[in-house]
Amino acid sequence: MNNTLYLASGSPRRRELLAQLGFELIRLYGDIDETPYAGEDACDYVERMAREKNDAALAQWHTEHAHEPPHPVLSADTTVALQGKILGKPADDAEAEAMLHALSGSTHQVLSAVCVYWQGRQHVCVQCSEVTFADLSDEDIRRYIASGEPHDKAGAYGIQGLGGLFVTHLSGSFTGVMGLPLFETAQLLRQCGICLPT
C-alpha cells in the first residue's frame, strides 16, 4: 500500500489536514441523510454519521468495481452540542443567528468522529473538545454571518477562520474542532496498520 487514501468527505479542511500528513487523496462520494434521530445522543450521532458516510462511499465503490478498494477509505463527521442539543449546519442566516446567540457566553462540546475502512473492517474513534465563547453582541453576530463563514459549518462557526475570534478557551483538539482530530486520526490509522507518510 502506498500513501493514498480514499476520502469520503467533501470538507476542504479535512482534505488540507490529511494532505499535511503526506497523504494523496482520492475523493469518494456517497450521500446520506444527516438528520439526527429523536433524542439521539451527540456522541452516538457523530459516530453514526461517520460510519454511514463510510458505508455510502463503499456502496458507491462496489457499484463500479468488483474488488475491494485498494486503499483505505476514511470518513469523518463533526457536530456541535450545547447542553445535549445537537447543532448541525444552519439552514439559513436566521438559524445561524439563533445558534450563535445560544453559544454566546457559554461552553459547548465539539465532537469529531473518524471512520477508516481497510481490509474488510471499519475502525472508529470519537474525540470531544470543549469550547467556550465570549459574550457576543448582536453586531458581532450580524457581521460574522455577513462574512458567509457560518453557512456550511456545524454550530455556525469555524474556529480556523473568523469564528476563532469568539473563542476564549479550548480544552481538547484544535484540529478536532476544525473537523479532523489529527492525533486520534493518526492513532486510528496506525491501529489499521497504516503508516503515516511523514
pLDDT tens for each residue of 117-148:
999 999 999 999 999 999 999 999 999 999 99
pLDDT tens for each residue of 16-29:
999 999 999 999 98
Cα–Cα dist 169/134, whole Å: 9
Would residue 61 count as lying in a domain? yes
Give the residue numbers marked as catalytic. Answer: 77
Residue 97, pLDDT > 70, answer: yes
Q: How far is CA 75 from CA 114, 130, 153, 185, in A?
A: 6, 22, 17, 11
Would residue 198 count as lying in a domain? no
Burial of residue 34, with CB atoms counted within 10 A of its CB: 0-12 exposed, 13-18 middle, 19 or more buried: middle
Residue 91: DSSP 8-state:
S
Would residue 98 count as lying in a domain? yes
Q: How confident is the model at residue 31 (pLDDT cuts 50, 70, 90)?
A: confident
- Number of domains, the chain: 1
Would residue 72 count as lying in a domain? yes
- Based on its alpha-carbon atoms, the radius of gyration of the chain, rounded to whole angstroms, reads 17
The strand pairing partners of 122, in sequence order, are: 117
Contact 108, 85 (CB under 8 A): no
What is the rounded end-to-end Cα distance, in angstroms, of the chain? 15
Would residue 196 count as lying in a domain? no
Would residue 197 count as lying in a domain? no
The model's pTM: 0.93
CATH code assigned at 119: 3.90.950.10
Domain region containing 179? 4-191
Would residue 184 count as lying in a domain? yes
Cα–Cα dist 62/128, whole Å: 32
